[in-house]
Structure 1
């Protein structure tokens, strides 16, 4: 699953035909390691995505809508200054290296025409996006690399830009298939021929090398020493055909899909090595292939990155409350011995005449014991008899008070834990910057986060709830945060509407609006499934979902947002079905 040098070469030709001579209209940085350049030309406007994310480094045109942060990062602001309204004059690639240079013609502070370069290095964990000034020096980069991280190549502002270290491999396009086969035959490594081809050929992914060997040798993949002359000739012919395809720019973008529908890999030519074990899907362009392959995955990764700061805070707060509750429950167990302290005080008080200062214990008749037994009571020899009695009563009162307070603290702690688990679940299900901002504002109001400098009070009405429509036409609403849950349940719903929530599992309040009509069982089941999907149990099976009329739901006294109590409910056991929930989602006109 890699954008190799050969595919990057074909992508470069694809981009040249679409965006060369266009001007930079907008610059966005939707995530720390991603850039989007809005380009305008006579042929229309397009968006160029450049990503240095380790899991998905790439360059492509994108048609997907990406939400941008409210405050642009510093690197984004720097790019706007350097290449805003600049003209793209060239796209370069050194050999089959996984690097593209975008040369922009612009005016400097003195009005002179200069060329500024944006380098996109698509090299797995070494990927980077680097802005290079007219003097060939680094202006800045998405990922700075100092001497502490690399002794071979530093990427820091002010340093001269150097190309990534060249690998000792053969360039098929420049040197030809014969030279590749000679290098493979001379290799001391007697390994699988597809693996050896990958180690020898420049700019080729493992998938591409396996496909070349598969097509050349009819599905066989012998080790080097077992290759016959005929097999070497077949491999050379297949490599010649590959080189010719790359020179002509004859890309056939293909995605490999598992039987479950999960994208597995991609290439710029048809993939036949998997046979019927995998499905393949063809796309008109490489950019469309990359959009389809990475689109949903990128959205999830961006949201994780944006919520990482306060999700760590909530996780640590949850862990701290759990430890505190555990300690309080242990203390509560110790307090259950308080009745013994009172009984000892009573027995000592009734037998003061038998006590003397200096005694360490005394054995008395236990009139609390129906069998008439005796009990030995420990004494403090430093105290008088009366003081020993008072000490037992004092310890009893302390334990009794501690038990009452501990019970209250445990209830408060469990309520706060339930609330924070609900917040954390809502964060993991957030799909937009607006949803995260609403959750962040809720945490600020609750005192868990400090307000951002210059931030304004959030207007909750701007963020609508999730809307669904059942098969019978009933509208179902599901809250996106706890403040919205409160508003839906306690203020906007009517008494005959039906409230759904997963039983003892964090999740959103889900409301089925009845409009005074009788609700069929099918709609009740669909609403319960929607509630299960919008909960922490969305990946589980047999999820219990409680439902009742809104009139039976009340705000928990002193409870945090989203915390309610309810009665006269029924419970439905459902399997969360995200596909069904998606199908029932009410489309925005």
Structure 2
């Protein structure tokens, strides 16, 4: 799945054909690993994504530019200062390296024209985007590399830019298939052909090498020590064909798909997967990368942006669970408080029997058929003071029991609320949804309010679906929206759904005064199960009732309600397409 030098060559051609002469209108840095250049020309506007993410580094035009932070990072502000208004004049790639250089005609502080470059290095976990001045000096980079990270190649401001170490592989732009075959014949004889090709050809990915082996062996695996003259003839033919395709940039973007899930991609037709995968031909090399990485990128960005919230919620859950366990143990101890009162009564009734300085006294327990009971004493206290001490401990235990019961109930409610927030977080798909959850946690005191005035944004609407019979169904995205949807927006005759004793979204059928059919009821219940912590389960219990039967207790946390006169359905979650 790696973007190799051959594919990058086609991307560079695509950028040249569509963006040379474009001006840099805006620059964004959605996260620490990505930069988006908004380019504009006479032909229109395009967004060029430069990604240094370890699992999906690439350069391509994108139609799915990610959301941007409210405050741009320092590198983004530097790029805006130096590159906004500059013109893209060239795109180059050294041989078949997985490196592309974007050359810009910019102006310095004096108004003089200078050439600035962005080096896009696509090398797995070592991927980077490096900003270089007209003298080849590094201005800055997405990932700075110092001596603690590498002793071979430093990437730091003010240092001279240098290419990554040469791998001493064959540049097929200047060689033909025979040169590759000559090199393979010198390699270890006990090596699979695809591994041999990968080890000696610059800028080709494993999928290309596997395809060459597949074509050479007519579908069978081939080792270098098993190569026959026919094998070499077939390898030479197909390799020369690939070389011509790469040299002339006449490839076609193909994606291998299995059950609608992307598996791999390359610049040419591939046959190695047989019936396991279907080939999808894309309109452009950029569109292929957009489609291939869309779901993965979205999940990665959401994980990165929500990491602090996940950590906060996990820590809060742990703290509340420990608090509940500790206070429950303390409450169990308070259950023995009656024995303290009895001992106080017995001491009070037998003051005359207690000798001064005694450590204990045995008296008849008139609460238990006059059985003898030994009561420990504090020798430093008088008999009367010892009795008062037991009464004091009794009152303390009684008060503690009342306080602990309240605190345990509050901690349980807080834990239920945090679990509900965690469920909302797992289903958040946009940065605005994350921001609303973050704001809710600030208002509830779990997060500190940021300094300065926060930029106000319009709240998101609830998710909206339409049942097969045409009923509108609304689903809350978070606890605040659940409250608004249930307590303010819905009418008394609308029908409310929620998973039974499981965190999840409030789901509403907008009835408009009519009685929904059974299919719509099941449809809404399935949606409620889908938007809950039980979304991956089966036979999920979902309660439903009219809105008039749902209320919010005074002081309850966001999203917390009580309801009466309800029915329960058991459904398997099923998510239709959003309307």
Report the TM-score range of the alignment, normalised by the length of the smaller protein: over 0.9
1:189 and 1:75 mapped to 2: Cα distance?
Answer: 49
For residue 352 of structure 1, report the CA deviation from its aligned partner.
Answer: 3.5
1:406 and 1:330 mapped to 2: Cα distance?
Answer: 10
Q: Classify the secondary structure of the residue corresponding to 1:11.
A: helix
Q: Classify the secondary structure of the residue corresponding to 2:537.
A: coil
1:526 and 1:124 mapped to 2: Cα distance?
Answer: 44
Q: 2:412 maps to which residue?
A: 414
For residue 219 of structure 1, report the CA deviation from its aligned partner.
Answer: 2.1
For residue 364 of structure 1, report the CA deviation from its aligned partner.
Answer: 4.1
Q: 2:445 maps to which residue?
A: 447
What is the 5 A alignment of 1:312-461?
312-369=311-368, 373-456=371-454, 458=456
For residue 131 of structure 1, report the CA deviation from its aligned partner.
Answer: 0.9
For residue 358 of structure 1, report the CA deviation from its aligned partner.
Answer: 4.1
Q: Deviations over 1:465-521 (max 9, x none)?
A: 111111122211122222222111112222111111122222222221111101111
Q: 1:237 maps to which residue?
A: 237
> Where in structure 1 are there 5+ consecutive unaligned residues?
none
1:81 and 1:145 mapped to 2: Cα distance?
Answer: 23
Q: 2:531 maps to which residue?
A: 534
1:161 and 1:24 mapped to 2: Cα distance?
Answer: 23
Cα RMSD over matched residues? 2.1
2:267 and 2:565 mapped to 1: Cα distance?
Answer: 61
1:256 and 1:355 mapped to 2: Cα distance?
Answer: 92
What is the 5 A alignment of 1:176-191?
176-188=176-188, 190-191=190-191
> Where in structure 2 are there 5+ consecutive unaligned residues?
none
2:166 and 2:400 mapped to 1: Cα distance?
Answer: 71
What is the 5 A alignment of 1:92-131?
92-131=92-131
Determine if contact 2:36/2:65 at 8 Å carries over to the other structure: no
1:2 aligns with 2:2: yes
Deviating more after overlay: 337-346 vs 412-421 = 337-346
Determine if contact 1:438/1:458 at 8 Å carries over to the other structure: no
Deviating more after overlay: 348-357 vs 195-204 = 348-357
Q: 1:47 maps to which residue?
A: 47
Q: 2:300 maps to which residue?
A: 301
For residue 41 of structure 1, report the CA deviation from its aligned partner.
Answer: 2.1
Q: 1:457 to 1:488 in 2, by over 3 A?
A: farther
Q: 1:378 to 1:38 in 2, by over 3 A?
A: same
Q: Classify the secondary structure of the residue corresponding to 1:247.
A: helix
Deviating more after overlay: 61-70 vs 236-245 = 61-70
For residue 250 of structure 1, report the CA deviation from its aligned partner.
Answer: 2.1
Q: 2:274 maps to which residue?
A: 275
Q: Deviations over 1:272-308 (max 9, x none)?
A: 2121122321212211111111112222222222233
For residue 225 of structure 1, report the CA deviation from its aligned partner.
Answer: 2.8
Q: 1:476 maps to which residue?
A: 473
For residue 126 of structure 1, report the CA deviation from its aligned partner.
Answer: 0.5
For residue 217 of structure 1, report the CA deviation from its aligned partner.
Answer: 0.8
Determine if contact 2:544/2:566 at 8 Å carries over to the other structure: yes
Q: 2:283 maps to which residue?
A: 284
For residue 19 of structure 1, report the CA deviation from its aligned partner.
Answer: 1.5
Determine if contact 1:543/1:576 at 8 Å carries over to the other structure: yes
Q: Classify the secondary structure of the residue corresponding to 1:172.
A: coil
For residue 152 of structure 1, report the CA deviation from its aligned partner.
Answer: 0.9
For residue 373 of structure 1, report the CA deviation from its aligned partner.
Answer: 4.8
Determine if contact 2:57/2:124 at 8 Å carries over to the other structure: yes
Q: 1:235 to 1:340 in 2, by over 3 A?
A: farther
Determine if contact 1:441/1:458 at 8 Å carries over to the other structure: no
Q: TM-score, normalised by structure 2?
A: 0.95
Q: 1:85 maps to which residue?
A: 85
For residue 363 of structure 1, report the CA deviation from its aligned partner.
Answer: 4.2
Q: Deviations over 1:552-573 (max 9, x none)?
A: 1111221122221212222222
Q: 1:552 maps to which residue?
A: 549
Q: Classify the secondary structure of the residue corresponding to 2:88.
A: strand
Q: Classify the secondary structure of the residue corresponding to 1:197.
A: helix
Q: Deviations over 1:168-214 (max 9, x none)?
A: 32222322222222222222473322223222221121222111111
Deviating more after overlay: 425-434 vs 134-143 = 425-434
Q: Deviations over 1:521-572 (max 9, x none)?
A: 1111111122222222222222222211111111122112222121222222
For residue 59 of structure 1, report the CA deviation from its aligned partner.
Answer: 0.6
Q: Deviations over 1:364-407 (max 9, x none)?
A: 4444446x754443333444333332232222222221111111
Matched length:
579
Q: Deviations over 1:40-89 (max 9, x none)?
A: 22322222111111111111111225332333222222212222121211
2:352 and 2:279 mapped to 1: Cα distance?
Answer: 96
Q: 2:503 maps to which residue?
A: 506
2:363 and 2:226 mapped to 1: Cα distance?
Answer: 96
Q: Classify the secondary structure of the residue corresponding to 2:174.
A: helix
What is the 5 A alignment of 1:144-155?
144-155=144-155
1:550 and 1:356 mapped to 2: Cα distance?
Answer: 70
For residue 104 of structure 1, report the CA deviation from its aligned partner.
Answer: 0.7
2:278 and 2:175 mapped to 1: Cα distance?
Answer: 34
Q: 1:189 to 1:365 in 2, by over 3 A?
A: farther
Q: Classify the secondary structure of the residue corresponding to 1:28.
A: strand
1:134 and 1:256 mapped to 2: Cα distance?
Answer: 41
Q: 1:21 to 1:358 in 2, by over 3 A?
A: same
Q: 1:280 to 1:353 in 2, by over 3 A?
A: farther
1:561 aligns with 2:558: yes
Q: Deviations over 1:139-182 (max 9, x none)?
A: 11111111111111111111111111111322223222222222
Q: Classify the secondary structure of the residue corresponding to 2:69.
A: coil
1:212 and 1:363 mapped to 2: Cα distance?
Answer: 97
Determine if contact 1:141/1:156 at 8 Å carries over to the other structure: yes
Q: TM-score, normalised by structure 1?
A: 0.93
